[in-house]
A and B are shown apart, each in its own frame.
Chain A
């Protein structure tokens, strides 16, 4: 089985940088994904890390350390529209995707 741990809530101010951590325990690991979900909406894909290191996509970056079973999502230049829930997810064999419980990010003016 798998388990993923991420903080339940994070608060930051507009323009700041925030990091959302995710640790995982899995019997098989093929990659770590991040998804964003606004209230009332569907999850949308943000990033995927299969190898160690940092992946950058605009204001968002995602990091993975396979040896530490750890990853994080870094959001820079926070905007009010970034207020949402963020989920890490681990892919195992067969493309089965297991999600963490989600981190609710509140961006304040």
Chain B
């Protein structure tokens, strides 16, 4: 089944403890992206990647890191999480030819930083 898999689905952590949210897609998509969703603010892009070893900042990159060493994986790293990073996170992927086929989203990761 074609899908984007995120792990974990739920995570509660403490301020300052490094964490990684994994994202993997099995559709051979070139484009991958991370979004965070907060009430009233919609989906805001954190980082995106157009191909292996090519990443760029989105609208809200502060406090996050990403890497794209393989085409299928695009982990999101929070080196020192803070409570304002409590949010619902989505990973998404798409074909490189544009968004005519749309982004496919993972099921989401609900992160709470206390």
A residues contacting B by CB (< 8 A) are: 30-31, 33, 35, 41-46, 48, 50, 87, 89, 91, 94-102
Contacts and interface: CB of A to CB of B under 8 A. Distances in A.
Interface of B: 31, 33, 35, 40-45, 48, 50, 56, 58-59, 90, 92, 94, 96, 98-108
Given A48-B102, A96-B58, A43 B96 contact: no
Contact of B59 (A44, A48, A98): A98
B44 A94 contact: no
B45 A98 contact: yes
Nearest to A32: B99
A44 B101 CA distance: 11
Contact of A50 (B58, B100, B105): B100
Contacts of B104: 45
Contact of B98 (A30, A87, A99): A30
Contact of B99 (A42, A43, A87, A91): A91
